[in-house]
Amino acid sequence: MKLYVWGTGCGAGDLIDEALPPEKIEAFVERGGGGSFLGRPVIAPENLKARDFDLLIVAGRDAEGVAKELAGLGLDADKVFYLKNHLAPVDRNRNYELAAKALNDNYVNRIRASERLIRVPLWTERERIAGEGSDNDYVRLKTLEAICLRLEGVPGAAAELGVYRGGFARWINELLPERRLYLFDTFEGFDEAESAGCGAGFTEAHRNTEAGRVLSVLPHPERAVIRRGLFPQTAEGLEGERFALVSLDADLEESTLSGLRWFLPRMSAGGYLLLHDYNNPKLPGVKRALRRYEAEAGRVRAVPISDVNGTLVITV
Ligand SMILES: C[S@@+](CC[C@H](N)C(=O)[O-])C[C@H]1O[C@@H](n2cnc3c(N)ncnc32)[C@H](O)[C@@H]1O
């Protein structure tokens, strides 16, 4: 079977780790194309027309945008399978049997059984939050918006540890246009030793970004300060800084703990730290990191929210 995968981000990484080894993929597809991912070539969508493919697996979250683009190219919708179908406002998957031939049954059944999420009725065209990194996560973004409104009069900068492609940083930057926004990331994935036990797809997908790409999605890039490299070393020289809002999204235990230790004592009164993935069963190190921090420093005041990956909102 000639299989193509749209996307070279985390969705594609999960697919590789759970159901499809890269050697079974003819090529990955990304707007612009070029280069390679996990040893396979990356082609532009328009080049798909000349390829005789059996199935295009769409791993990214923007099913709507991809579907429109494929229709514009005149490609057969029956040969397309959307992994994040449950995030889209309409059900697009028509060919589960074909997908089951390409992937394993359990994996495909899980996608079929994924419930359409409750936030879908809240999703409106005016507030369209689809797009790279946002996960169509209405609750996460609306919570951020409400928090930013509460920050009036609270001094300090904004920061994110764990930026990846800037999917969330873009919203912080939009909602807090006057604040400096520190962006801490290696922009080439996790610390090798720390991610040693993680899947190849997960680690490789997170390498697939760069600071320029992040700056290009920010509405106010002039407010951003890129701190490239491994945290907490990249925070050196910023010890006197104070923060009103921090997004801590480092996925793994030691880096999350470093983030908690470094940022929490530097938060302004009235500030918020958003600990992403606290209730994400796929990333248990985040909760372990908070427990370790609380054992050292005492219990934090926090509200868990019901966004997709279970953010814990820590208040100061
Ligand atoms: C899940 S991604 C962040 C996603 C992003 N916040 C969003 O919502 O779109 C996690 C990121 O953390 C970064 N990271 C993890 N530990 C780090 C560390 N110690 N120093 C710098 N970056 C780190 C990785 O490089 C990766 O890009």
Q: Each residue of 56-83: pLDDT tens digit?
A: 999 988 888 899 999 999 999 999 999 9
pLDDT digits (tens, 9 = 90+) for 80-120: 999 988 777 677 898 899 999 999 899 999 888 876 654 44
DSSP 19: T
Q: Which of 174, 190, 192, 282 for mutating ligand 1's site (highest number of atoms within 8 Å of CB)? A: 190
Please indicate, yes or no, whether residues 51 and 158 belong to a single structural domain of this protein: no
Reported as a pLDDT band with limits 50, 70 and 90, residue 126 is: very low
- Atom number in ligand 1 closest to CA 10: 1
Number of domains the chain contains? 2
Is the residue at 126 inside a domain? no
Is the pLDDT confidence value at 310 over 80? yes
Identify the CA nearest to 11 among candidates 79, 76, 66.
Answer: 66
Q: Is 159 left (phi over 0), alpha (psi -120 to 50) or beta?
A: beta
Residue 232 C-beta-side C-alpha neighbours within 13 Å: 13
Residue 157 in tokens? 């900068």
Q: Ligand 1 center to residue 162 CA distance, Å?
A: 3
What's the rounded Cα separation, in Å, for the pair 235 and 249? 16
Give phi and psi for 267, each to the nearest 5. -80, 140
Please indicate, yes or no, whether residues 154 and 286 belong to a single structural domain of this protein: yes
What's the rounded Cα separation, in Å, for the pair 160 and 252? 15
Please indicate, yes or no, whether residues 198 and 100 belong to a single structural domain of this protein: no
Please indicate, yes or no, whether residues 89 and 214 belong to a single structural domain of this protein: no
Q: End of a domain among 113, 129, 162?
A: 113
As a whole number, mean pLDDT of residues 272-287 equals 97
Please indicate, yes or no, whether residues 61 and 208 belong to a single structural domain of this protein: no
Tracing tokens 């470093």 back to the chain, one arrives at 258
pLDDT digits (tens, 9 = 90+) for 187-228: 999 999 999 999 999 999 999 999 999 999 999 999 999 999
pLDDT digits (tens, 9 = 90+) for 9-49: 999 999 999 999 999 999 999 999 999 999 999 999 999 99
**Residue 47 sits in which domain range?**
3-113
Please indicate, yes or no, whether residues 100 and 185 belong to a single structural domain of this protein: no
Q: Ligand 1 center to residue 163 CA distance, Å?
A: 5
Please indicate, yes or no, whether residues 281 and 202 belong to a single structural domain of this protein: yes
Is the residue at 22 inside a domain? yes
What's the rounded Cα separation, in Å, for the pair 167 and 182? 15
Please indicate, yes or no, whether residues 198 and 242 belong to a single structural domain of this protein: yes
- 197 SS3 class: coil
Is the residue at 133 inside a domain? no
Please indicate, yes or no, whether residues 182 and 263 belong to a single structural domain of this protein: yes
**Which stretches within 105-227 are classed as H helix?**
105-113, 138-150, 169-175, 200-207, 211-217
In this structure, are strands 312-315 and 267-275 parallel, antiparallel, or unpaired?
antiparallel
Residue of the CA atom closest to atom 5 of ligand 1: 163
How many other β-carbons are positioned within 10 Å of the β-carbon of residue 52?
6
Reported as a pLDDT band with limits 50, 70 and 90, residue 130 is: very low
**Which stretches within 103-168 are classed as H helix?**
105-113, 138-150
Please indicate, yes or no, whether residues 173 and 258 belong to a single structural domain of this protein: yes
- Atom number in ligand 1 closest to CA 160: 6
**CATH (domain of 261):** 3.40.50.150
